[in-house]
Amino acid sequence: MEQNQTDEDATSKHHASIRAIHMRTFVFALGLSAIAIVTIVLTFSALNRLRDSYRHYQACSNAAEELMDASDELTSQARSYVTTGVVRHLNSYLDEIYQSQHRNEAVRTIENESEVGGAEAAEDLQGALKESNELSERELYAMRVAAEAYGLRPLPESILRTHISPEDEALSSEKKLELAKELVFGDEYDTIKSSIVSKVSECTNDLIKTLERREREQERGLATTLTVQGVIVAMLVGLVAYDTFMNNRLIIAPLNSMLGKIKENKPLDEEGSSELIQVISSYNQIYESNRKRTEHLKHEAETDALTGLFNRGTYDRLLAYHSEDVALLILDVDRFKDINDSFGHETGDAVLKKIANSLLVNFRASDYACRIGGDEFAVIMTGMEGVPRSVITDKLDSIAQVLRNTSDGLPEVSLSTGIALSNELETGYSLYHAADNALYKSKGKGRDCYTFFGA
């Protein structure tokens, strides 16, 4: 209430100065005031359009994420049922396919919000949905085969719609399970899944490009209207000394600051008249939303979603950049497939997170911990000139001790590690190939150990 009263007082003083100008130069001031009103209307109109663009973008972005999440959930439920035979996973899968239908809702959202992202984003998401439906047919067939192998009776009506070929029907229960697992865990399945991820990513990129283009257009329009307001204020300044002082403090100086900050792509300081503060507040909200979205997209592009470590792409760039005075460790989880098969993928994911956390805790902030494969990790240690090998082995021993501890409810796990030092490479070996060679030797020694290249 107190703040609102302050804003009203500031606005009243502003109008009072305009009335004074009207009394001295009625015709001149009337024309300038009309122009000022038009520019303010244009400013708020531009801001409203920019807000609408962000609203549409958010809706489309959420829809793309929802399709990907729904597809991943279907994959998880299908794999879980084929692996475990637990009917709950089968029912959850069927509920999503025939009841919830989040993927179809996502595509409808993109089509309804077509003014952001346009046809390209909708086409990308439709392509992702088409491939996801193809993947669903494969998953339904795999679960029907698995249901026969597990002897599930009665079979859900929706599963009965999927018919098994006579050849597959004649297989033994064991062979049927092998077939079902191959259908949802094989390379062909992963290829289709990767294509879905790629199309969703292309959809998101189309949305970002359209949003950035519209943002630039709105910023140019906003800068133009603000410049016009500055000119109007400058002309009114010469009427009286008091008007000059008030206009300079409440309008001209803040406008100049705003234009500079806009050109420098910085947030605006909340100063000046109440109208300007409203504009600045709206602009800053949009600026902050865009900054967070940009940082979020950059973070997703550089890190692994499950573990929070750097992903394979970032690892390749870091390894290319750091080539001297470094140590490269490649760590492979021993018999990780057995963990997934015995305890389920949820436990497997928890084990990977535990390993990632152990790497972050034990290595320095100047080192780079990465997940470069499903169960393969890497650490690039920098500034290793003159550092003894025991520094590395002590860290690996500490990590091994943590991974053997099962008090957190996770199964015991071990790592096979290959280590290569940049100053100990042999001719013909890259740092990666040297570490990979050492890793191979660690596995040959029975796993759960580490080997230095050349040792």
Q: Which residues carry out catalysis?
A: 375
223 and 261 Cβ atoms separated by less than 8 Å: no
Closest C-alpha to 9, from 248, 241, 171, 250: 250
DSSP for 186-241 reads SHHHHHHHHHHHHHHHHHHHHHHHHHHHHHHHHHHHHHHHHHHHHHHHHHHHTS-H
Residues 6 or more apart in contact with residue 451 via CB below 8 angstroms: 417, 418, 419, 438, 439, 441, 442, 445
Parallel/antiparallel/unpaired status of strands 368-371 and 376-381: antiparallel
Residue with tokens 């602009």: 283
Q: Is 64 helix (H, G, I), strand (E, B) or coil?
A: helix
d(C-alpha 142, C-alpha 29), whole Å: 78
Helices 118-150 and 26-84 cross at an angle (nearest 10°) of: 20
- Residue 128, judged by CB atoms within 10 A of its CB (0-12, 13-18, 19+), counts as buried
The CA–CA distances, whole Å, from 267 to 115, 288, 432 equal 27, 8, 43
Return d(Cα 435, Cα 421) in angstroms, integer. 8
Query: Other C-beta atoms within 10 Å of 438: how many?
Result: 23
Give the Cα separation of 71 and 102 in Å (integer). Answer: 9
Half-sphere exposure of 217 (CA within 13 A, CB side): 11
Residue type, 453: F
Backbone angles phi, psi at 302, to 5 degrees: -100, -20
Longest Cα separation, the chain? 101
- Residue 378 CA to residue 312 CA, distance in Å, equals 9
